[in-house]
Structure 1
Amino acid sequence: MTTISLRRARVRYGPLEALHGVTLAAAGPGLTVLLGRNGSGRTTALRALAGTVALSGGAVVWDGIDVTRVPAHERARRGLCLVPERRAVFGSLTVRENLELAAASYDTALHAYPRLEPLLARRAGTLSGGEQRMLALSRALLAGARVVLVDEPAQGMSPAVAARTYELLSDLDACVVIAEQRLPPVLRARAAFVHELSRGAVVLSGESGEWERRAARRTGWSPS
């Protein structure tokens, strides 16, 4: 089992504090969702786990080891893969070249996203937003990472491809953490763990079914 967590994590962007002592954990194999509206801190929490933003307080702990001072590239070398919301592919390289950076054989990626096969010779920067998302996630699927962090994985995808994407992520033999504005319907029936953030703090945590019941009880708010 792999675990990664934030412990009383604080992140500042200049004078503004984006995370206010956040504590949350993710374990794998399995899927954890960081849920929240824009400005909630969900993307910052993901970046803090990856090491692409520095903590002003608290710690990042991976498999019981404090990696707060370990740089992002070293976390990647140890088996952490981050798929950010933007600039997740090398736009000047072809689709084939992007895939070859992840693995010598990329048949698994083409099986996951057949739409990419006729695009292999295209420059990644010329693809649509949904196609770029498929390519970025294909590279993550090929990486064989122990921890996979994805910001809004299905952005720009059709409903069918989005559902396929969540299934692929759920089935990975890894600790998978995704950041979303809303809980995707396909994950409501799966054993995902949810941390809901608001204004830089965790306000609710629980298994997806438990989270929905507790969220639905809050006055004036519904998970749908």
Structure 2
Amino acid sequence: MSPARPSSLELRAARVRYGPLEALHGVSIAAPAPGLTVLLGRNGSGRTTALRALAGTVPLSGGAVVWDGTDVTRLAAYERARRGLCFVPDRQAVFGSLTVRENLDLAHAGGDVAPALAAYPELRPLLARRAGTLSGGEQRMLALSRALLSRAPVVLADEPTQGMSPAVASRTYELLGDLDACVVVAEQRPPPGLRGRAGLAALAYELRRGEVVFRGELAELGRPPDGGVRPSPAPG
């Protein structure tokens, strides 16, 4: 089956509340297709909430989610998945009771898991293991392998390299950057060496306390227009 056409994804003036607390204060994010967009911020900044809002796993209290020009704000997460959105959360991203091979088979009905094992050969000797017995880094590799096999037009990943060695993390960034898809990742800090597909610039949105404080190319972070050093965000 040929891959679906990449799809752009947007948050428009999005607001999200957790009880009495508002986590996103009118956040707008535009992720191109194909392209790589990075949501940056410390814990509590709103980066994960923004990613979950795009995926549909948290409801908006205001604003909209727009997919290729269509408002999908009220579309359930499972419906977005059916339409080709692949979400890799930071926790419970694999089926722990199933083997590694069974997890991969779920992502590719044809049973061809060769691309996943080419991307992460570390998984080959683990095919018969229950996914729940893998280390954190191994589970991240498995979850991202499933995303690669799905050929989804939209891939969202929360801290995709958590628990990985630097070499595997670098390879993962290359894989994500090369996908012919709208790719959005959430990270605490700019990943080293991350680049866009086919030389395209990776976009970055830096969030702080539920608001966007920087938008532009990832390479611009830390470098203000005058060529000096961009100040770090204030604590908290």
Task: Give the superposed CA RMSD.
Answer: 1.7
Q: Which amino acid aligns with 2:170?
A: A
Alignment-derived partner of residue 153 in structure 2: 146
- Describe how 1:38-53 pairs up with structure 2 within 5 A: 38-53=43-58
Question: 1:80-119: per-residue Cα shift (whole Å, max 9, x none)?
Answer: 0000000000000000000000002110000000010000
1:26-37 to structure 2, matched below 5 A, reads 26-37=31-42
1:5-27 deviation digits (Å, cap 9, x = unpaired): 00000000011100001011101
Question: 1:163 aligned to 166, 170, 173, which one?
Answer: 170
What is the total number of aligned residue pairs between the two structures? 222
Provide, for residues 170-202 of structure 1, a one-character-per-residue CA deviation record: whole Å limited to 9, x for no partner: 000100000000001111696210000000000
CA distance in 2, matches of 1:220, 1:145: 35
1:80 to 52, 77, 85: 85
**After superposition, where does 1:82-101 map in structure 2 within 5 Å?**
82-101=87-106
Q: Give the equivalent residue in structure 2 for 1:119.
A: 126
Q: Gaps (5+ residues) in structure 1? A: none
2: CA distance, partners of 1:124 / 1:180? 24
Q: Percent identity?
A: 73
> Of residues 216, 221, 226 in structure 2, which corresponds to 1:211?
221
Shift in Å, 1:2: 2.5
Q: Which portions of structure 1, spanning 4 or more consecutive aligned residues, are displaced by more than 6 angstroms?
A: none
**Relative to 1, partners in 2 of residues 1:220 and 1:85: Cα closer, same or farther, differing over 3 Å?**
closer
2:208 aligned residue: 198
Distance 2:233 2:25 in 1: 23
Name the structure 2 match of 1:17: 22
Instruction: Please state how far the C-alpha of 1:218 moved relative to its aligned partner.
Output: 3.9
Q: Is the 8 A contact 2:46 2:208 kept in 1?
A: yes
Deviation at 1:66, TM superposition (A): 0.2
Greater helix percent: which structure? 1
Shift of 1:217: 4.0
* TM-score normalised over the length of structure 2: 0.90
Q: Which runs of 5+ in 2 are unaligned?
A: 1-5
- Retained in 2: the 8 A contact 1:205–1:211? no
